[in-house]
């Protein structure tokens, strides 16, 4: 009997996977051996224990992390994840990916990431607020607008960013909106930040469709994950003319070959907490969405969902990684051999951190831009990053992931070399 795919994926260590992706491009770009060794390690790792007051009057201990992988190109940047499966290795991998992502889109940040082991689906708002404020306090040693700027990630929201901003500001005695991005608009958030990950993904999928000579109108799309990235991807891609044929979230999925109504799906998700039970489609399981017959597959949930076992069954022509780390290296090789274009996470989901950068710049200047301007700038950044990665991929005859890594790792290596060794 075939082994359960989640068990197979669980065997892969995500931190080993991140280092292997770096190793695979080192010789391609002639990366200096010492710098290669330097980039294989995170610069700084902070583990914190959090006593959090719970609704029953007692307190419970939680564990959290903030990892800064590399700060050569600027302050650390990267989200905070609240999830029961968070591990230090996962946060290290996510921080390394942020370094490459910021370098690829050429924004002046290094890479960082945070995570707290918790199950926000089973916590009250008050408990989540207590947890967030205590975590912020514990990591306030190393965060700040010039040091390291957190943002949302899996299961963290603008409200949680507001608590981070408030906690940090109260400790300093004045408002410091630039300490965190992804905030609500009324306290220094940016227009367009909520949809930015999905919008950036749409822009690079458009570019890929054009590069492959495929028509956009009516092209079919399957989306795994219906959170901030997946939900807005469904909306924006269907408004652009793509046909959404299958979607799923952690409870299951729905499919309809004549197209799912993205607005109806969103309303159903917001009302019931899941896409399951949506009347406009047939029920399918979460994993079947990945293997669904479609032109574009958008994994928009968690790591390691495309593994050696299911990669041969993926039917899409383009895989756009709205999630971080959805494809393991073996699966990457299989997809490349099968002629499937994988738009890597550091490109496909970089729209989020790009608009986070715009938010940080607006906060520092206390001068806010129109949404139109933000979307135009985002489009320029994403299109340029796509072309640079595509050129490298063509030049070396390698995958888009390797092409993107060539551009990104080279930029970080150059900054590291120019700054030299201290002391």
User: Where do contacts with ligand GLU occur on this chain (CB under 6 A)?
Assistant: 77-79, 101, 151, 153, 181, 324, 349, 352-353, 356
Q: Minimal distance in Å, beta carbon 324 to ligand GLU?
A: 5
Long-range Cβ pairs for the range 85-90 (8 Å, 24+): 85/117, 85/302, 86/115, 86/116, 86/117, 87/115, 87/117, 88/45, 88/47, 89/13, 89/14, 89/15, 90/14, 90/15, 90/115, 90/303
Nearer to ligand GLU, 107 or 297 (CB): 107
Nearer to ligand GLU, 336 or 357 (CB): 357
| Three-class secondary structure of residue 377 per DSSP | helix
Number of Cβ within 10 Å of residue 137's Cβ equals: 15
Name the active-site residue from 77, 101, 113, 304. 113
Q: Minimal distance in Å, beta carbon 79 to ligand GLU?
A: 3
- 419 to 73, 130, 180, 209, 414: CA distances (angstroms): 10, 40, 26, 39, 9
Report how far residue 325's alpha carbon sits from residue 266's, in angstroms, rounded to the nearest whole number: 25
Nearer to ligand GLU, 178 or 281 (CB): 178
Q: Minimal distance in Å, beta carbon 271 to ligand GLU?
A: 26
Q: Minimal distance in Å, beta carbon 260 to ligand GLU?
A: 26
- In the chain the first and final C-alpha atoms are separated, in Å, by 58
Q: Minimal distance in Å, beta carbon 299 to ligand GLU?
A: 14
DSSP codes joined into one string, 314-366: ---SEEE--SSS-B-HHHHHHHHHTTPEEE-HHHHTHHHHHHHHHHHHHHHHT
Nearer to ligand GLU, 78 or 281 (CB): 78
| Three-class secondary structure of residue 77 per DSSP | strand
* Residue 43 designated active-site: no
Nearer to ligand GLU, 149 or 409 (CB): 149
Report how far residue 178's alpha carbon sits from residue 146's, in angstroms, rounded to the nearest whole number: 9
Catalytic sites, residue numbers: 113
């Amino acid at each position: 009997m075939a082994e359960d795919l989640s068990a197979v994926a669980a065997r892969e260590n995500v931190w080993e996977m991140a280092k292997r992706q770096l190793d695979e491009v080192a010789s391609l770009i002639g990366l200096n051996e010492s710098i290669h060794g330097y980039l294989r390690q995170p610069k700084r790792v902070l583990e914190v224990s959090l006593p959090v007051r719970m609704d029953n009057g007692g307190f419970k201990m939680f564990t959290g992390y903030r990892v800064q992988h590399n700060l050569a190109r600027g302050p650390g940047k990267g989200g905070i994840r609240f999830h029961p499966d968070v591990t230090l290795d996962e946060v290290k991998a996510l921080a390394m990916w942020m370094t490459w992502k910021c370098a690829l889109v050429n924004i002046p940040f290094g890479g960082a990431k945070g995570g707290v082991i918790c199950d926000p689906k089973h916590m009250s708002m008050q408990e989540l607020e207590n947890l967030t404020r205590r975590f912020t306090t514990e990591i306030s040693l190393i965060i700040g607008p010039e040091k390291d700027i957190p943002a949302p990630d899996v299961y963290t929201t603008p409200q949680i960013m507001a608590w981070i901003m408030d906690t940090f500001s109260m400790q300093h005695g004045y408002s410091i909106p630039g300490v965190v991005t992804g905030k609500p608009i009324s306290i220094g958030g940016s227009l367009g930040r909520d949809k930015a990950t999905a919008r950036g993904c749409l822009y690079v999928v458009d570019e890929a469709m054009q590069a492959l000579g495929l028509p956009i109108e009516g092209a079919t799309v399957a989306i795994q994950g219906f959170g901030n990235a997946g939900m807005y991807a469904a909306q924006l891609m269907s408004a652009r003319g793509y046909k959404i044929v299958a979607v799923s979230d952690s409870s299951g999925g729905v499919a309809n070959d004549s197209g799912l109504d993205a607005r109806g799906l969103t309303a159903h998700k917001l009302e019931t907490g899941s896409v399951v039970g949506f009347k406009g489609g047939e029920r399918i399981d979460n994993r079947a969405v990945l293997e669904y017959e479609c032109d574009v597959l958008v994994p928009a949930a968690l790591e390691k969902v495309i593994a050696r076992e299911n990669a041969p069954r993926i039917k899409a022509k383009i895989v756009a990684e709205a999630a971080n780390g959805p494809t393991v290296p073996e699966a990457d090789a299989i997809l490349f051999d099968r002629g499937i274009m994988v738009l890597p996470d550091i490109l496909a989901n970089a729209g989020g951190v790009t608009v986070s950068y715009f938010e940080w710049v607006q906060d520092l200047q206390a001068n806010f831009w129109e949404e139109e301007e933000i979307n135009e700038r985002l489009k320029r950044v994403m299109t340029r990053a796509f072309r640079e990665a595509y050129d490298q991929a063509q030049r070396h005859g390698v995958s888009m992931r390797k092409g993107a890594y060539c551009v990104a790792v080279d930029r970080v290596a150059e900054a590291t070399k120019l700054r030299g060794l201290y002391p």
